[in-house]
């Protein structure tokens, strides 16, 4: 899925569009499995009890309601947050947008970027992810975590910044 064209300026082109690394979704996926297993186990246990069918149905509804709340809170919400987080590099700027209900974002013109760094631990390197650090002329360094293939993104961004130097977009 490409980044929406309506947020781009005229003649601006997306060079790279990424969501955070999929590893951010492993804990929510595990919690989904645990909650579903626990709900199934408890519902199965309730079926073995000698209760009236109305009581069993009520308990099953309560189990289903608790399961639904847990799944929405611990699995669906993190997935939607992941899905609505965008790290975009265009031929003019770096954009970062995140948030599901309340959207937040930042744009950094390529011509204003002073340095680009990356950091990743051993586990990050095994998962091919890391933190991208961008220092612009007017702000403290910004850190973008869980960027997939952070070394490649670093290199691509560095080349985009270098190609911008000397154009009319570069500061005089």
Q: DSSP labels for 5-30?
A: GGGSPTT--EEEEEPPPGGGGHHHHH
Would 172 be classed as within a structural domain? no
H helices of 49-76, in order, are: 53-71
Neighbour count for residue 88 (Cβ, 10 Å): 21
* Same domain membership, residue 15 and residue 94: yes
Give the residue from 41, 58, 81 where a domain finishes: 81
* Same domain membership, residue 92 and residue 47: no
* Same domain membership, residue 96 and residue 59: no
* Same domain membership, residue 98 and residue 64: no
Residue numbers of the domain that contains 56: 26-81
Would 170 be classed as within a structural domain? no
pLDDT attached to residue 165: 59
Decide: pTM greater than 0.85: no
Give the residue from 81, 97, 123 where a domain finishes: 81
* Same domain membership, residue 160 and residue 91: yes
Distance of CA 152 to the CA centre of its chain: 18
Res. 137: pLDDT tops 90: no
Q: What is the CATH number of the domain that holds 120?
A: 2.30.29.30
pLDDT in tens, 93-120: 999 999 888 989 999 999 889 899 999 9
Would 169 be classed as within a structural domain? no
DSSP 82-135: HHT-EEEEESSEEEEEE-SSS-EEEEEEGGGEEEEEEE--HHHHHHTEEEEEEE
Res. 150: pLDDT tops 60: yes
pLDDT attached to residue 162: 80
């Amino acid at each position: 899925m490409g980044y929406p064209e309506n947020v781009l300026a005229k003649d601006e082109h997306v060079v790279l569009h990424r969501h955070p690394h999929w590893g951010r979704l492993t804990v929510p996926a595990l919690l989904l499995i645990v909650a579903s297993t626990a709900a199934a186990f408890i519902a199965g246990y309730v079926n073995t009890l000698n209760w009236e069918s109305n009581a069993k149905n009520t308990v099953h509804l309560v189990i289903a309601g608790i399961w639904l709340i847990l799944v929405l809170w611990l699995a669906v919400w993190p997935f939607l947050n992941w899905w609505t987080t965008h790290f975009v590099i265009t031929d003019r700027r770096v954009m970062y947008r995140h948030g599901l209900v309340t959207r937040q974002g930042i744009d950094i013109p390529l011509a204003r970027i002073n340095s680009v760094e990356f950091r990743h631990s051993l586990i990050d390197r095994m998962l091919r992810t890391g933190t991208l650090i961008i220092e612009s002329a007017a702000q403290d360094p910004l850190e973008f975590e869980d960027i997939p293939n952070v070394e490649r993104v670093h290199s691509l961004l560095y080349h985009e910044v270098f190609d911008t130097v000397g154009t009319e977009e570069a500061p005089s």
